[in-house]
Structure 1
Amino acid sequence: MRIAITGGAGFLGTLLARHLLAGPVVLDDTPPADVDELIIADLAEPAPRLADDPRVTALTGELDRTLDHLGDVDAIFHLAGVVSGAAEADFDLGMRTNLDGTRAVLEHARHQAGPPLLVFTSSLAVFGTDPAGPTHRTVDDDTLPRPQSSYGVQKFIGEQLVADYTRRGFVRGRSVRLMTVSVRPGPPNAAASGFLSGILREPLAGERAACPVPPDTPVALSSPRRTIEGIVRAAAVGAEAWGSRTAMNLPSITTSPREMVEALDGDAARLVDWTEDATVTAIVGSWPARFDTARATALGLRPNGSVDDLVQEYLADHTPDHAP
């Protein structure tokens, strides 16, 4: 079995790679099989533990160039892209990476000898509060996306391209909408939602963190483990169980920055500064926070139970013995 992960050197890409290499892997309801070669395509080199695995091939550089060396694969997990804040700050970068990059991956898949399975990671940012449209208290699998950021628009277009390439028989596509992943380890990134990891991660390390949105802003969160579980499950099920070619919302918990900080002990909670940033508030505040994920539930996927679950998972996975 030959599998590719674009963006495979990133945080989620690394977790996914480790999961696939631990095998065996099920694709499209076929018998489980071990991965013979895992191709990690990214601007950065993969983590040393991955790079040292003889089954791993690293293709490092711009996506359009690395695709020339990819060859035919059984499955592509397309995670590569620039995050929400970066796509909003640099329109051309977002379009080139999130839109043109997705189309390049689909075109590569289209010209294979047979249609590969393709899992595309979209985002809850495809939804937003349209000033002239209705306000949805709860988003379900059939809610019309109304993205209110360039990133959300780019992801929604990607979903539609995956659906059409699937309809045409060029790929066997599955698009999953990721919720905000928390807690991410490491330094902050350019995601508008990055603070939703920082207000837990930094205080747990005895460092100060800033929350740029009002304390009671509702947000939808999923832990790294549950996010990877959703991506892998999307690849494993057959076409009949998957159902519609439209994207599937992954499960999440609904909480707020105030509730997140309250999950910390008193000393850690006092390390959070409440300093509103209008740009971040406009982006994150437009995202829905309550989801009815019937399709994901039917596939056996479940959300985390509480913010405390997110914290305990982070602590368990990022002790010295479990460092990335």
Structure 2
Amino acid sequence: MNILIIGGGGVVGQKLAQSLAAEGRLRGRPITRLTLADINDPPLVDASFPVSAARCDIADAQSVAQVITEDTDVIYLLAAIVSAHAEEDFDAGMAINMFGTYHVLERCRALGTTPVLVFTSSIAIYGGDIPDPLGDHSYPNPQTSYGGQKAVGEILINDYSRKGFVDGRAFRLPTISIRPGKPNRAASGFMSSILREPLNGQTAVCPVEPDFLHYYLSPRRCVENLVKAANLDAADLGGNRVMQMPGRTWSISQLIDAMTAVVGDGPAKLIKWEAQPDIKRIVSGWKWDIHAERAEALGLKSDESFEDNVRYYLEDDKPAV
């Protein structure tokens, strides 16, 4: 089993690589090779099988062709530029988020090998004047360029799967929190930073009100779901290869209360409340009353509580003092 993770240098890509290395099998077969591809050389992980790094710019079809080969069995397409970045730089968002997906699909079509392709979409495809609750069969109505680009990717995954060019499956990811590392340019980045930085003894700014509701999933549970996603049989997916990945809806105040329940009230005192209209404009177009019945029926799971999300961060990602 030869696996390629495009976006292998990111938080989710690295955690997925570590999980696959620990498991050693996917789709009932031993993993024989894992390639981590990204715009820059991604860090390698320790495994009992060969692991290699490759540079790949998915905006460049030739670059994509170099990493997807005839013996590639499973592709995870995680690479993207995030919401605020795609909103600021429309051309970059189109080149990477939309045409990058197209280049991956076209390479698979040219090879004729029908690899399993796991595509990470986003809850940013929801929005606007559509009725709640939302879920697997809701009409995409994105209110950002990033959401629009992901929605196009979903349509392509369905069509290329229908034609037999890939064995695709696309999952609309909740906002992943608590993400480790440094803040990125995602409009949702504060949903990790208002917890991560205080847990690390640093101040953080919350740009929205305490009652702001959103749909969340921990990095640990996201990776578990992505592994399950690749293991699903095509027969279980039917004609619609797109579904919502399970998550849970909480308010900002509930996130902070969960952090306080786990570690005490010290970190919460490091949060500053400062309105940021540009961020609020983007995130206010997102939806939060979201349901994931199809994925749950197939064995994918949400977190039991946000206290668990805090504990996972402390166990998996908090920097050593």
TM-score by length of 2: 0.93
Give the letter aligned to residue 188 of structure 1.
Answer: P
Instruction: Choose from 235, 241, 246 the match for 1:251.
Output: 246
Q: 1:163 deviation in Å?
A: 0.6
Q: 1:82 deviation in Å?
A: 0.3
Give the letter aligned to residue 115 of structure 1.
Answer: T
Q: Summarize the alignment of residues 166-315 of structure 1 with structure 2, pairs less than 5 Å apart.
A: 166-263=161-258, 264=260, 265-315=264-314
CA distance in 1, matches of 2:242, 2:228: 14
Instruction: Choose from 134, 138, 141 the match for 2:136.
Output: 141
Give the letter aligned to residue 74 of structure 1.
Answer: D
Quick one: percent identity of the two aligned structures?
41
Structure 1 stretches of 5 or more lacking a match? none
Match of 2:63 in 1: 66
302-311 or 261-270, which deviates more: 261-270
SS at match of 1:49: coil
State yes or no: 1:43 paired with 2:29. Answer: no
CA contact (8 A) 2:168 2:241 kept: no
Match of 1:12 in 2: 12
Deviations 1:67-116 (A, max 9, x none): 23221211111001101111011100100000111000001111124211
SS at match of 2:281: helix
117-126 or 290-299, which deviates more: 290-299
CA contact (8 A) 2:208 2:280 kept: yes
Q: 1:61 deviation in Å?
A: 4.0
SS at match of 2:29: coil
CA distance in 1, matches of 2:215, 2:200: 24
Give the letter aligned to residue 242 of structure 1.
Answer: L
SS at match of 1:291: coil
Give the letter aligned to residue 169 of structure 1.
Answer: G
CA contact (8 A) 2:136 2:294 kept: yes
CA distance in 2, matches of 1:161, 1:167: 10
SS at match of 2:105: helix
Q: Give the aligned length.
A: 313
275-284 or 240-249, which deviates more: 240-249
Match of 2:154 in 1: 159
Match of 1:318 in 2: 317
CA distance in 2, matches of 1:109, 1:48: 25
Give the letter aligned to residue 217 of structure 1.
Answer: F
Deviations 1:38-68 (A, max 9, x none): 1111012222435x87611211142324323
CA distance in 2, matches of 1:48, 1:162: 28
Q: Which runs of 4+ in 1 moved over 6 A?
A: none
CA distance in 1, matches of 2:279, 2:113: 43
Q: 1:233 deviation in Å?
A: 1.4
Deviations 1:213-247 (A, max 9, x none): 22211100000111112222111111122234241
CA distance in 2, matches of 1:320, 1:82: 25
CA distance in 1, matches of 2:50, 2:284: 43
Match of 1:111 in 2: 110
Let me know the Cα RMSD of the aligned residues.
1.8
CA contact (8 A) 1:234 1:242 kept: no
SS at match of 2:187: coil
Q: 1:119 deviation in Å?
A: 0.7
Match of 1:33 in 2: 29
13-22 or 170-179, which deviates more: 13-22
